Structure 1
């Protein structure tokens, strides 16, 4: 009865030792989860690594194979990799959390768009497929530069993990699935990404001017309502909100209640006023409207 668990623990131990052998500092995550499996300050025994005072997960992450074997002998822990001490900067390409129409751009798409806008190729480096279907791009962090975590600074649904952050290592498994990788070595973090992370340039916010809108009363009301939704979108959710709102209005275009270019102009202005780039707005609006028009039901069944 215990053999499957023992086999799983051995596989996770091997993956943890492999990561440590690459110089990456690891620590245990609760079995089947992404949460650290270490005691908190309130329950700290002040012994072992904490003999001199409570140490958090980033400080307790280790490359010591004996400590790793002793830890993973207790349970089939998932693997946490402390990115800062490991000399890593990991780019996290996430998936939309609410993508009911299936057309919201994912982090991989927005990162590719960022590379295109900056005239750079998509970097080739170690990639881990996450349990959710997203991806982690591993890079060797530049020496002498202390890069911390970011959320959406590079592009929507693109986060980074550096000092103060960790990622779930390959070989780990959650209910959503496994973390899988190839054996590619992490490339050096491209200088253009370093510049963007060191000196984030705030996007200029353009005042929103309502265009002249003509169409049926229901269509114009829906367009105005959804443009306001885009303008009020929370930080980091502008692109997803724009996609969702444009999709909702697309059915009125399909029914002939409002012409497409009017809808595109209104959402373009709202998206740019929210801080999205012109290129991001155009691509998102076009994708959302195309999908909505294609899927629109007849008016009498909607």
Structure 2
């Protein structure tokens, strides 16, 4: 058993070093898919916010590095590691992970195709990692200066996003459920740039200040959202409507603002039937999170 464990640890280190050579910052993971090294501050009497400034390992994704010597040191400190994590959102690739779930009641792949059709983007050929449970991780890259947050089922049911502060389990990692493997025909690919329309859904524009977003009414009146949709140009109408509708439903004013948003989208050139369908999609996605839940 000890021989198998040493072999597993050696393979995990080899895979991690290979990823680091390609500019992907890595950390050692245990079979549970969690960082293998525990926090050096775990016995502190009060919670301590440290992201590695103390110089000791054990800060999760903040330990991630591409330096071979540091990678070896991290794995030497965690000889029980059986895999490695790849930090997302970090230079040079600014990796974005699209995690497609395959639970019996969820078809995340179909949901992603639906989003692609609705928002007029195509998922490019890119690295795909197959998970032991049958899911898939798509690797995309983002532009510098754009922060993509982590999310779970925000984009659509069964689609989780790994962004800044998150990590992906690297191919070749052994977990308690099995081995992560690169999908055939994708291992030679470099992570492809995230399509612009998808990137806007993952990292929507920051809200305007209250005085600019609601010039004709009080906070939360929705005038700014309506204006945002009405000002849409060709190629961004559906994306703007979907984003504005999500914000409205999250603020609890989706139903009352639906007609105004539809009228604004129609005025911008979107067919009314398509606008209504987009609003319905936003309602299904966002309304359960609003209110008192």
**TM bracket (short chain):** 0.5 to 0.7
Greater C-alpha Rg: 1
Unaligned runs of 5+ in 1: 208-271, 278-302
RMSD value over aligned CA atoms? Answer: 2.9
Checking the alignment, whether the CA contact within 8 Å between 2:8 and 2:82 is kept in structure 1 is no
Checking the alignment, whether the CA contact within 8 Å between 2:95 and 2:141 is kept in structure 1 is yes
1:235-254 to 2 correspondences below 5 Å: none
**Residue of structure 2 aligned with 1:81, choices 80, 86, 89:** 86
Deviation at 1:164, TM superposition (A): 1.5
Q: TM-score, normalised by structure 1?
A: 0.60
1:122-141 to 2 correspondences below 5 Å: 122-141=123-142
**Residue of structure 2 aligned with 1:183, choices 170, 183, 188:** 188
- Residue 72 (str. 1) matches residue 75 (str. 2): yes
Output the CA distance in 2 between the equivalents of 1:24 and 1:273: 35
Unaligned runs of 5+ in 2: 205-242, 257-279, 286-293
**Consecutive aligned runs of 4 or more in structure 1 exceeding 6 Å deviation:** none
Deviation at 1:116, TM superposition (A): 1.7
Checking the alignment, whether the CA contact within 8 Å between 2:9 and 2:82 is kept in structure 1 is yes
Q: Give the structure 1 partner of residue 6 of structure 2.
A: 6
Cα deviation per residue 1:202-256 (whole Å; 9 max; x = unaligned)?
446559xxxxxxxxxxxxxxxxxxxxxxxxxxxxxxxxxxxxxxxxxxxxxxxxx
Cα deviation per residue 1:77-135 (whole Å; 9 max; x = unaligned)?
32111112252111111122xx3xxxx34211211111122232232211111121111
SS at match of 1:28: strand
Output the CA distance in 2 between the equivalents of 1:72 and 1:134: 27
Distance 1:134 1:2, change over 3 A: same
Q: TM-score, normalised by structure 2?
A: 0.62
1:192-271 to 2 correspondences below 5 Å: 192-199=197-204, 200-203=243-246, 205=254
- Residue 42 (str. 1) matches residue 42 (str. 2): yes
**Residue of structure 2 aligned with 1:275, choices 273, 279, 283:** 283
- How many residue pairs match? The answer is 205
Output the CA distance in 2 between the equivalents of 1:135 and 1:149: 17
Deviation at 1:2, TM superposition (A): 3.1
